[in-house]
A = this chain, B = another copy of it.
Amino acid sequence: MSEPTRILMTEEDIPTHWYNIAADMPNAPLPPLGPDGSPATPEQMSAIFPDPIIEQEMSSQRWIEIPDEVREIYKIWRPTPLVRAVRLEKALGTPAKIFFKYEGVSPAGSHKPNSAVPQAYYNKQAGIKRLTTETGAGQWGSSIAFAGGMFGIDVRVFMVNVSYQQKPFRRSMMQTWGAEVFSSPSNETQTGRAILEKDPENQGSLGIAISEAVEEAAGRADTKYTLGSVLNHVLLHQTVIGQESKKQLEKIGLYPDVVIGPCGGGSSFGGIAFPFLCDQIAGEKRAEKLRCVAVEPASCPTLTKGAYAYDYGDASGFTPLMKMYTLGHDFMPPGIHAGGLRYHGDSPLVSQLYHEKLVEAVAVPQLATFEAGVLFARHEGIIPAPESCHGIRAAIDEALVCKQTGEPKVILFNLTGHGHFDMASYDRYFSGQLENYEYPAEAVAASLAHLPKVG
């Protein structure tokens, strides 16, 4: 038989350590700031996170061991396949070799459980009985529901009311794994009750849901909060993606020229890119020409049009300030945007690396992402999540450049998840209800005018 199209590995190949890029960055990561403008302390964070998570969040240790208990659960779907998109290459007529790392094989259908599982584990170790979180479309909520179930820890998910109504299937998925799901604003918290009193029909927002989840965690000793992207420890956990990809490519004697990941909060991009980027930082010959490209929606262009500034992580200003690319914490993505990756900010690690020109970023228009997703599905079979379509679009664009230049580049992208719970967005695409929308510069400027003042 010919060269394999799926490069598989066995359980022994699941990484034993997570890779922490903070150890190798040319400049140390800038710290989050507390309400008084000085660096946030572990004590300030311990109201909502357990100690081992805070330690990882602040660690500058290069390799952090993955507990056996976490690797046991990873075995349910890891190592994930690395697949050569041979049919897509042929359809494009490109000399490039396109590979995708398929994270959609996890129970929750995306890369998110890579971090949900260790977060549940460390909370369990710390004697925590309950986890809270917020969820919009439901990707993170279902991942933490799954992970909590695996370790016998209760999970309470605050799901934005409008999603709760419109996406009952993600909700049922969380319930199947044993989580409690509340429409947010809910009667479970003071925040929720106060809002419902004024406005019983309130549709909810991610900002409100975060406030509810944080309020519960801060108010109960047996309860902590979990977050699915942005923070250092989340990106750390996601490096299993890039580490496996590297090993799989090495098995067939290849190294990527371009590594691509969709970028909302930054965990899927960081997860695939950092274990390659460190080769470049270390001056390895094979990584000399490596390019790492973060792909974001043109309607939510954090890296490409935002400011690099200290801003809140949430809409209400409850969190510490983080130095990151941001569109302003009161940024609201337009309703026409169907494709996820809606966060106003970005991972501080990714932001700093982008600011220091170690990684690139590109913003892609909505229709082009769905066009890429459909082309991919028709040739490679898998129907990708709208978020994942952003990475596919960029990979196709790179491959089309190769077609012009004749270069047989090795392109690797993170296929972060399947679209089984996102078919409504495909429906809107097929029926012509989606449009391109470029977030206007004036609107960005207006929202950046509200950035908090620091120092």
Contacts and interface: CB of A to CB of B under 8 A. Distances in A.
Contact of A377 (B75, B177, B382): B177
Interface string A155-193: 000000000000011001101111000000000000000
Interface of A: 1, 4-6, 8, 10-12, 73, 75-77, 87, 105-107, 109, 146, 149-150, 168-169, 172-173, 175-178, 374, 377-378, 380-383, 420-421, 423-424, 426-427, 430
Given A381-B150, A383-B107, A430 B172 contact: yes
A87 B75 CA distance: 12
Contacts of A10: 4, 8
Contacts of A169: 420, 423-424, 427
A177 B8 contact: no
B109 A426 contact: no
Contacts of A168: 423-424, 427
Contacts of A420: 109, 169, 173, 420-421
A172 B423 contact: yes
Say what secondary structure dominates the interface of chain A: helix
A4 B11 contact: yes
Contacts of A382: 76, 107
A105 B77 CA distance: 11
Given A169-B424, A175-B430, A5 B75 contact: yes
Contacts of A6: 11, 75-76
A121 to B, nearest CB: 15
Given A1-B11, A11-B6, A109-B420, A146 B381 contact: yes
A292 B87 CA distance: 39
Q: Output the residue of A4, A75, A176, A382 with the most chain B CB within 10 A.
A: A176
